[in-house]
Chain A
């Protein structure tokens, strides 16, 4: 980058990150998005709201999450010191709850009585059902029929929490179709319903709002790393589906020019095979789900089916801020195949006694490659975005074991 970027100026008033982002929805939702933007801008400056949010993050979620020095793994890799930002230790087992807490508090202030959400791996659905249960709000979660098969434990958790889980049978029956269906529900029930989007995608103000709620990850990690080592980390690594855990870690470091950032997309069977979920590595800009961003599409602009071993990364788009950070060169994006992610899953589990989610395992896999190429006096933070309990059935099945 040749000149300093005024990071706080993004997105602009209409939600644009350079050419990306914006608000591409049918007219019926424009009023609701204006209302949401107004309430979000108002309360993010309201000390009482922020105090309530902080208290919930501390007492209900269990924040701050530890920054853990993975000494044994670091020693084995023989390069950079590896630190893990332990979002897996949050209540509900992933970073998703940071955002659902925030949005649910906004929903309450707007007087909405019904919450809807989309979910892929089920982590966002569980985090949404959890906050809805706590606030006594009706909750409906849309989930692709394919993902319901893959993530039956999370489906059961959501139902225990009182959520109505709706199987989406249209299109590819995965996360993108769940998002379509949630949007359709919102259009029809916009008066009493708040739509809690789980990632940094969707129409403005969602990408900025979800980023702001997730930025607690990076703010804590930055302070923790400074306190533990007296310096900033050299690199940050996070997996990217829609990209909320990655932006949450990266955003508070954007102005720190010495800190490299790497987003890891799901390479599936390998980007060359076409069976993957890596729009930043192998897609092109287009418009889907309310924003302009990198997408996986065919020559006619139809969205194509994606593939990843992890349901949470199985999405053809990505948050618009990531598209912009890629184009301006502030963050680099790479991909990791299903097989590499699986090997990293086992390595982390056996070496550090931490079972990571399959999504997170993509970030771990990249660090297995990156850390040995760095010096031992350097450090890298992996966003350990979620725990792997939900993936045990998938892993066992791959190894021919029925649980």
Chain B
């Protein structure tokens, strides 16, 4: 069983929703990332999503754009990101790590070289934002050989016909984009979200993670009631800007936010659990 499947089996068994924090690798500086990953796990993260910085992050809002710019100012490359995952794996062999980024850096490295290097580093899933299933055969093929799951997005605008196509191609979990917009947009609508997730569940057994627009512990708790996983990105990355010269304080603030979300999510699920007979 893959690390991702194993982790979702555990969270399901314990009646929890998984918490997946996102940070951009190399932001605020490459030396911070591995320590930050361990911090986030200690604070209650079940899986980690690591952003690969790109010069033209078209699907991201201003918070993650700036994070990419900071990481690139330090020269953070895809190879550097893989080295960070390998360093993280020296102390943590359990927590699944998903890379999230754009296609061009992967193309430049070469899909096959990338897949082998990612497999060796201990990457578990790869989400390429600008690679829809229609164009993904080459990459998913080489990822399958090294047992890395291709993660795909489903959006509110995804038609039911496309939904069948996407769920058929997806492995690991489905990443549901909770709103029309870029990362870090306005808050989502929990009621509508529940209905959409039910329609996706009719087509796939894969766990459903929800991201985009989860700004605080309260929203995370609302989403945890209906989703298998909650992805939080811009809310964490935004904290970098509060402590521009103090990465240690940023790490502490990020941990505090993740801990707060963890507690709120678990409380929300507890409140919903059927009373013992």
Contact = CB atoms under 8 A, between A and B. Distances in A.
A290 B172 CA distance: 25
Interface string A1-41: 00000000000001000000011111111111010000000
Q: Is the interface of A mostly helix, strand, loop or mixed?
A: mixed
Contacts of B55: 171, 302-304
A184 B182 contact: yes
Interface stretch (B9-17, B56-64, B89-97, B240-248): B56-64
A155 B130 CA distance: 31
Interface string B67-87: 001001000011100000000
B82 to A, nearest CB: 12
Given A286-B104, A301-B108, A301-B109, A27 B152 contact: yes
B190 to A, nearest CB: 19
Interface stretch (B30-38, B158-166, B200-208, B231-239): B158-166
A289 B58 contact: yes
B153 A184 contact: no
Given A188-B180, A300-B78, A26 B153 contact: yes
Given A301-B105, A303-B104, A30 B130 contact: no
B60 to A, nearest CB: 8
A158 interface: no
Query: How big is the B interface, by class?
Result: 35 or more
Contacts of B159: 31, 34
Contacts of A303: 55-56, 104
Interface stretch (B40-48, B131-139, B221-229, B255-263): B131-139
A379 to B, nearest CB: 41
Contacts of B131: 24
Contact of A27 (B58, B60, B106, B177): B177
A137 interface: no
Interface in B141-160: 152-159
A382 to B, nearest CB: 33
A301 B153 contact: no
A147 B78 CA distance: 31
B75 to A, nearest CB: 8
Interface string B103-146: 11111110000000000000000000111101100000000000
Contacts of A260: none
Contacts, number: 122
A387 to B, nearest CB: 31
Contacts of B135: 22-24
Contacts of B166: 27
Given A27-B152, A31-B159, A191-B180, A300 B130 contact: no
Contact of B180 (A23, A190, A297, A302): A190
Contacts of B154: 27
B108 A27 contact: no
B65 interface: yes
A31 B157 CA distance: 6
Contacts of B56: 171, 176-177, 180, 288-289, 303
A119 B79 CA distance: 34
Interface in B161-177: 162, 166, 177
A235 to B, nearest CB: 34
B219 interface: no
Nearest to B165: A30
A183 B107 contact: no
A161 interface: no
Contacts of A295: 104
B181 interface: yes
A184 B132 CA distance: 17
Contacts of A190: 157, 180
Interface in A263-291: 285-290
B104 A26 contact: no
Contacts of B132: 23-25, 27, 30
Contacts of A297: 104, 108
A299 interface: yes
A23 B162 CA distance: 14
Contacts of B153: 26-28
B126 to A, nearest CB: 15
Nearest to B129: A26
15 contacts: A24-B130, A26-B59, A26-B177, A28-B59, A28-B156, A28-B180, A171-B56, A176-B56, A180-B57, A184-B182, A188-B180, A300-B108, A301-B104, A301-B106, A302-B105
Given A34-B162, A287-B104, 4 more contacts: A26-B177, A30-B157, A188-B185, A289-B58
